[in-house]
Structure 1
Amino acid sequence: MSRRTVLAAGVGAVAGVALAGAGIAAGAAPSMAAPPWWAKLTPRQQAGQRVIFSYPGPTPPQSLLDGITAGEVGGVIFFGENILNLAQIAGVVAQLRAAQAASPIKEPLLLMTDQEGGIVRRLKGMEPILSEKQIGLQPDPDAAATAAGAGAAASLRSAGMNLNLAPVLDVFRVPGNFDDQFGRSYSSDPVIAGRLGAEMVTAQQGAGVAATAKHFPGLGAATQAQNTDLGPVTLTQSLDELRSVDESAFVPAIAAGVQLVMTSWATYPALDAVYPAGLSTTIVQNELRGRLGFTGVTITDALEAGAIDAFGDTGQRSLLAAQAGMDVLLCSSRDMQQGTDALDAMTAALQDKTLNPGHYKQALARVQSLRAGLF
């Protein structure tokens, strides 16, 4: 995710007739395909599968546990303030998993954190130690990127988590700019950044932890002062540069099967002069899914980001993101009410069909596919 305190979710459950071979024998009763798991859920439970919650401090509130047991929570993101040590957070995760086991949802929760490497590590003192910048400068950066992916997976698995919000695939332009100042970019060369990112993804997902390529279509052109956490950011590179440099770094990770892509909250006039990337149908549907062929799960950056203040409250932002094609909504302000507001808005929009029902089911199917493969 871009800067959430770096420093300080088929059309319908319509069952098809199963035919044996070229046809079925006369008089034989057709069999119906099993409906997806979410088809039996209430609208509120369906909405919940697309919302990631967060909470303050080291102890998860009872409201979060109750929401999980009710089947109204898709996942949880963990920050430094939630983690005292490995034993403590592993105990918390076990508690959340127990609540999920008592719920109507049998797929695992999405249990995530930012374990990028360098200074961006919520599991302090654990792998990957090297930042992306440091990896790019190693004598054998490919081996270092692979080791980082394996290390990140081991760290998350030891805490019971199954999804890492990494790697960052931004291609920094100027030394010391927004990404580079924190060591959050492999290289200013999109070929190198893309290759190392894909190697990290392959190693991490090979060890059973989902990876997230971020922040599409790229924040590498952001200056040191351009921070979407704090306010609007407009990146004015040409369409050719945006595609040949920024987006191109995501191509190897997509080819490697990265399971999630996180969009940025910057605005890119070359593609969409009105909406930031995570609210832009043009960027999510046309560029990421259409042009680059990504078929996995899309996840927003922090819904509380200052860059999207002009687009309404949490509920309004959630609907705009879902309408743009975002599958999972990241409520990361460490405030349970934020997640509840997103859940309320998504439930109402599902019931009154403000959100396209077919598109909604497609998003749920993508989330189901992701979660079915996680521990």
Structure 2
Amino acid sequence: MGKPLHPGQLVMCDIADTVLTPATADFLRRNHIRAICLFARNFQDMKQIRRLCADLRDVMGSDALIAVDQEGGAVLRSLFVPQAPSAMGLGAANDTQLAQDVGAAIGRGLKAMGININLGPVLDLNNNPHNPVIGERSFGAEPSRAIELARAWMTGSHASGVACCIKHFPGHGDTHVDSHLDLPTVDKPLAAIEALELKPFHALRDAPMLMSAHIIYPALDAEWPATLSRRILTDLLRTQWGYKGVVITDGLNMKAIDDRYRQTKAAARALVAGADLALVLGHPSEIEGAIQEIQAVMDSGELPAEQALTSVARINVMAGLYPILLPDYSTAQEQHDRGIMQQAWMRALSVIGNPTIPAIGSRVRLIAQQDVPCDGISEPGIRATVLAERLRTLYDVDLWTFDSPEQFDWASLPADGRVNILASTTRKRYGPREQATFHPDLHLVLWNPFVVMDIAAPALVTFGFRDAALNALLETLNGHHQPLGIPPVALTLPSNNLTEQECLS
């Protein structure tokens, strides 16, 4: 007879530090935790993260899971390995071999750290320009193109020994609400969902892992969000589709779940609904509370022993296929991978409209947000001073900054002959006042590509703000690179003949 199942085996949690402290090691052992999700706070450098992951493996066992969100673009928890472009950047490049090469390069960096799960790629189809959370994280709006690129990205990662987790099932691309902040609803007919949102997940249902979304789809389940829905996670995903991989929830501390159901109770409910792993984040008391709630539904029979054991078996299979090995990551390999990433960022860069590029040495004025803090999803964006220094390698730059665009008076800019360059460096869209009053000569779109639709000016779109993206931008501005990217979503410039009053009415 095997040893009894402990509910901690059905939980993935986070840790606070860059080292495995004795207290944390004891906590993991005591609660039988075998799965950890790392965040930016856990990373310093390659030597440190290899030590941390090796220590975690020693404590949790050879079948441990160590996961991270290393999607590319703005969502990169580790910045000391080659930095991948966003999925939408790869969509703009539209090259499956390049997508596979990028996925493989990401995987090599993660494998060397001791990480065996990448919580990506994002399969959400961003068909809503006002989506506040997905945007450039999506491969695009068209299913077949997104499927091909995501498949290639996954093939590369799996060849490098890192399992992929497709997300956010059944789809987060057509929401106006960020589930980190509230509970979205996608109220569309079933036929429309099947034709769009569900298509990538169905096509890639051989993925080793899938993450559920905290979204209500009334056509699928009018009562429960997908993460807590048996109709979605069991009846649709398991029974109808025959999905055999590991199902993990999105973070249960997100307000969409925690504010309504409480993270601890939601962990148990998600497992009853059909998830295999509950992603429980935050204070150790929250994690232990979730484990207690899971034990309660196991004791009551609401989570049958056979179902829980099947979940553990699925997790064991994935851990066996993608073990934590910590291979060497040579300087030569790292440089090769940086070259792949640079090529991908170059191929992504897209032109909207017909911009006039300032001549080298021109007097320009850069207008940008001073600081771009972490938004809870992505890492902090580029500071205006950093961007100005990069542009000063080409131009005489006069920097004007604002804390938020709503507070900036475009009319205060002097008419002194400088070329006005607006750099959009956040995920947030511009409001009606800015749309009516901001009149740059050139628009540099370094994060959310949909801001192209807010500002009536020709634009260069990088789909991200990492160093390699800035390299691609500078190579374009100095005339050494001809951008050939084609955005995989509709980006149309607005007309510039509306007054502020008309925009606000």
TM-score range, shorter chain: 0.7 to 0.9
Q: How does 1:51-70 map to 2 (within 5 A)?
A: 51-70=11-30
- So what's the TM-score if we normalise by structure 1? 0.81
Name the counterpart of 1:15: none
Is the contact made by 1:201 and 1:253 (CA closer than 8 Å) also made in structure 2?
no
Name the counterpart of 1:349: 297
Name the counterpart of 2:72: 117
**Aligned partner (choices 54, 60, 68) of residue 100 of structure 1:** 60
1:74 aligns with 2:34: yes
Partner amino acid for 1:241? Answer: A
Following superposition, the deviation at residue 53 of structure 1 comes to: 1.5
Is the contact made by 1:277 and 1:283 (CA closer than 8 Å) also made in structure 2?
yes
User: 1:48-77 CA distances to partner (integer Å, 9 max, x unpaired)?
Assistant: 111112122423343331133447102111
Q: How does 1:173-322 map to 2 (within 5 A)?
A: 173-175=127-129, 177-181=131-135, 183-223=136-176, 226-254=177-205, 257-322=206-271
User: 1:245-284 CA distances to partner (integer Å, 9 max, x unpaired)?
Assistant: 0110112322xx3100101001111111110001001111
What is the rounded CA distance, in whole Å, between the counterparts of 1:125 and 1:170 in structure 2? 27
Following superposition, the deviation at residue 143 of structure 1 comes to: 1.6
SS, match of residue 112 in structure 1 = strand
Alignment CA distance shift 1:164-1:318 (3 Å): same
Partner amino acid for 2:97? Answer: A
What is the rounded CA distance, in whole Å, between the counterparts of 2:120 and 2:100 in structure 1? 13
Partner amino acid for 2:221? Answer: D
What is the rounded CA distance, in whole Å, between the counterparts of 1:108 and 1:93 in structure 2? 13
The Cα RMSD (Å) is 1.8
What is the rounded CA distance, in whole Å, between the counterparts of 1:232 and 1:176 in structure 2? 16
What is the rounded CA distance, in whole Å, between the counterparts of 2:118 and 2:295 in structure 1? 27
**Aligned partner (choices 140, 149, 153) of residue 103 of structure 2:** 149
Partner amino acid for 2:12? Answer: I
SS, match of residue 163 in structure 2 = coil
Partner amino acid for 1:132? Answer: A
Partner amino acid for 1:52? Answer: M
1:374 aligns with 2:329: no
SS, match of residue 77 in structure 1 = strand
Following superposition, the deviation at residue 165 of structure 1 comes to: 0.3
Partner amino acid for 2:25? Answer: L
Partner amino acid for 1:202? Answer: T
Alignment CA distance shift 1:141-1:336 (3 Å): farther
Structure 1: 5+ residue stretches without partners: 1-34, 102-106
Provide the aligned length of Structure 1 versus Structure 2.
Answer: 323
**Aligned partner (choices 49, 66, 69) of residue 9 of structure 2:** 49
Following superposition, the deviation at residue 348 of structure 1 comes to: 3.0
1:171 aligns with 2:120: no
User: 1:23-42 CA distances to partner (integer Å, 9 max, x unpaired)?
Assistant: xxxxxxxxxxxx7xxx31x4
**Aligned partner (choices 331, 351, 372) of residue 280 of structure 2:** 331
Following superposition, the deviation at residue 163 of structure 1 comes to: 0.5
1:84 aligns with 2:84: no
What is the rounded CA distance, in whole Å, between the counterparts of 1:342 and 1:127 in structure 2? 36
Is the contact made by 1:116 and 1:128 (CA closer than 8 Å) also made in structure 2?
no
What is the rounded CA distance, in whole Å, between the counterparts of 2:47 and 2:130 in structure 1? 36
Name the counterpart of 2:85: 130
Is the contact made by 1:172 and 1:179 (CA closer than 8 Å) also made in structure 2?
no
Alignment CA distance shift 1:372-1:180 (3 Å): closer
Partner amino acid for 1:343? Answer: I
Looking at CA atoms only, which structure, 1 or 2, has the larger radius of gyration?
2
Partner amino acid for 2:69? Answer: D
What is the rounded CA distance, in whole Å, between the counterparts of 2:314 and 2:130 in structure 1? 37
Alignment CA distance shift 1:67-1:108 (3 Å): farther
Partner amino acid for 2:290? Answer: A
Structure 2: 5+ residue stretches without partners: 324-505
What is the rounded CA distance, in whole Å, between the counterparts of 2:14 and 2:36 in structure 1? 6
What is the rounded CA distance, in whole Å, between the counterparts of 1:163 and 1:200 in structure 2? 14
